[in-house]
Amino acid sequence: RELYEHTVFINTESCERCRKEKTEDTEQQIIRETFHLVSKRDENICNFLEGGLLIGGSENKLIYRHYATLYFVFCVDSSESELGILDLIQVFVETLDKCFENVCELDLIFHMDKVHNILAEMVMGGMVLETNMSEIITQAEAHNKMEKSEAGIAGAPARAVSAVKNMNLPEMPKNINIGDISIKVPNLPSFK
């Protein structure tokens, strides 16, 4: 059984800032309905309510926290613990705050990939995996370093071509042999 149906972060002006959904059918309608249900509630009322029609009605519930200009909303199965999800949201926001050194709405907009990585460290396949902030931050930083190094790998073919062009070969090779593989080099008027 999966923990959540969708997660959405919406600002107080009803603008979606980050989303992680299970389906793409009616995304915008779900976001509008979620915002309408959550934003109209008084600050002194509990932070969970039954899901709307598009969200699954009584089968699901919305659990949210309102921080500054953002609502962090999880849509979960009705059997889930409200307090457990509120704690999960708290850990998530505190982790974002540590990763971005005082997180703000712009961090969610411009670093959506990092936000998704942090959420993925905490929740995968709808199940809570990790709630230790130090461990989440360590894993998220490792993931970011790996992505940066892979970006370097993506540019490797262009760097290899450039390096070959800058080599001072006496003549253009006709074939390149690598083990049992032989690659015929096309006749080019100029190698450089």
Q: CATH number for the domain including 52? A: 3.30.450.60
| Model confidence pTM above 0.75 | no
- For the stretch 77-86, pLDDT in tens is 888 889 999 9
Q: Judge whether 164 lies within some domain.
A: no
In a domain, residue 167? The reply is: no
**Is 174 a domain residue?**
no
Cβ contact 75:19 at 8 Å: no
What is the domain extent for residue 58? 4-151
Q: Is residue 165 part of a domain?
A: no
> 106 in a domain, yes or no?
yes
Question: What does the block give as tokens for 21?
Answer: 């959904």
Low-confidence ranges of the chain (pLDDT < 70): 1-8, 13-26, 54, 151-173, 186-192
What's the structural domain count of the chain? 1
φ/ψ region of 54 (left if φ > 0, alpha if ψ in -120 to 50, else beta) reads alpha
Residue 26 lies in a domain: yes
Antiparallel, parallel or unpaired: β 181-184 and 175-178:
antiparallel
Q: Write out the DSSP string of 11-78.
A: ETTS-EEEEEES--TTHHHHHHHHHHHHHTS-TTS-SEEE--TTTTGGGEEEEEEEETTEEEEEEEET
